[in-house]
Amino acid sequence: MAIVGNDIDHAVSLLCANKLVGIPTETVYGLAGNAYSQDAVLDIFKVKRRPSFDPLIVHAASLERVADFVLEIPPEAENLANQLWPGPLTILLKKKDIISDLVTSGLDTVAVRVPRHPLTLSLLKVLDFPLAAPSANPFGYISPTTPAHVNEQLGNEINYILDGGPCSVGVESTIVSFEKKIPTILRLGGQPIERIMDILGEVEVNEHSSSQPDAPGMLKSHYAPSKPLILGGLQEVPNDIDKTEIGALVFGEMYTDLPEENQISLSDSDNIEQAAKNLFGAMRELDQKTDIRVIIAQLVPDHGLGRAINDRLKRAATR
């Protein structure tokens, strides 16, 4: 298993040697490597078992550092970044050649963000290269929100995990593109649409996933437990499954006819932000219960971070 600690110097030495490190962000834990190194980037795809057509997000310490590897930052993108970075926002920008086509899956744009987690920000500030860092989990599975989640699945393939505690947001970043006349939200995430619209005005929202994504995290089936996840209530579960074999992600009232130990409340106070923070951990906990065969979940109110929660639930339910 990987060593878990908060030694930034050790993380720096590994990353400078083109090794991979688990890093905390406010959204989820990332599997980080030198974004300028072909070898490190190849290792990210190998360790995650990630298809090469799914691009990576590149993390930098500041907007000024982002300018090192992108061709231009449109005024609207700069305005958005100045107001929401560091934070759970990723922006698609035209890349310089120093970012390889492997990072971007052949696209001429690179997904970039400045994460809000203080430990990873400190790490990025002392590195002279940005970090490519998708979520630190096997491709397609539930994203990790604690160091233990990373160690459970990738601990035998990496040397070190920076321990930043549980993630404060709990769902991946929102991705915005400025390639069209109207800014487009390509992926719903930890930055609510309403806040982005406050800054930009009109935006388009991409409601369709793709097998050839234009940005990270756009695949139709993603964030999924190994057990079937069914959107809806008990009436959606096949008749051959006993109620003792059903797990439930709950937002609101618990089910009276399911075992209490098979249900996890995402929020005891109907708090959307708390539900987002708890989503992946709760999904993972139910997936690991040996007596559960299926998991049911209902959509939450579709506003704020509720949009991102619903997006992840829909993709987790796609087979």
| CATH code of residue 245 | 3.40.50.11030
In a domain, 99, yes or no: yes
In a domain, 134, yes or no: yes
Res. 216 pLDDT band, cuts 50 70 90: confident
Mean pLDDT (whole number) for 290-295: 96
Tell me what percent of the residues of the chain surpass a pLDDT of 90. Answer: 90
Contact 131, 113 (CB under 8 A): no
In a domain, 219, yes or no: no
Shared domain for 188 and 265, answered yes or no, is no
Q: Is the pLDDT of residue 17 over 70?
A: yes
In a domain, 186, yes or no: yes
271: its two tokens: 């708090």
Range from 119-123, 140-144, 215-219 carrying the lowest mean pLDDT: 215-219
Shared domain for 195 and 254, answered yes or no, is no
Q: How far apart are CA 219 and CA 211, in angstroms?
A: 6
Shared domain for 160 and 99, answered yes or no, is yes
Whichever domain contains 105, its CATH number is: 3.90.870.10
Total structural domains within the chain:
2
Residue 245 sits in which domain range?
A: 229-316
Shared domain for 237 and 193, answered yes or no, is no
- What's the pLDDT tens digit per position in 56-78? 999 999 999 999 999 999 999 99
pLDDT for position 52: 84
- Which residues does residue 33 pair with via DSSP β-bridges, in sequence order? 132
The chain-wide mean pLDDT, for the chain, equals 94
187: its two tokens: 């992926």
